[in-house]
Amino acid sequence: MVWGYAKRVYRLNPESSREDALERNTLDALEKVPLDSMRRFVLRAHRFADAYRHGLDGAQAAWAARKYKGHRVLPPEFLKDMEVAGIGRGGNANAGL
């Protein structure tokens, strides 16, 4: 996610074929990624990793990551919340998205 952010910033620079300019633009783009954004990216990755550890698929993990933004890991009641939202394990993972 950090690399994607840096690539967006990098594309704002004028095109160049000179190696020194490419390197300078790359380093500048990486330095412009805010620390707060890096922290949010790490927390999001933690939420996805925890969702996958619980056996969720990609769509279910995305739903859980959006719903529980204040947590690094999924709360114990997440399975009940998934059922209420119509997103069950083994069922239609896209329901409610």
> For residues 81 and 39, what is the distance between their CA atoms, to the nearest angstrom?
26
Domain positions in the chain: 2-31, 35-85
pLDDT tens digits for range 34-89:
999 999 999 889 888 988 998 898 888 888 888 887 767 788 888 888 888 888 76
Residues 15-28: what's their mean pLDDT? 91
Tokens standing for 89?
Answer: 């394990």
> For residues 28 and 32, what is the distance between their CA atoms, to the nearest angstrom?
6
So what's the pLDDT on residue 89?
A: 64
- Which residue would you say has higher pLDDT here, 68 or 3? 3
Whether residue 7 contacts residue 29, with contact meaning beta carbons closer than 8 Å, is answered with yes
So what's the pLDDT on residue 71?
A: 66
33 — phi, psi (to 5°)? -75, 120
| Amino acid code (one letter) for 25 | N
58 — phi, psi (to 5°)? -60, -45
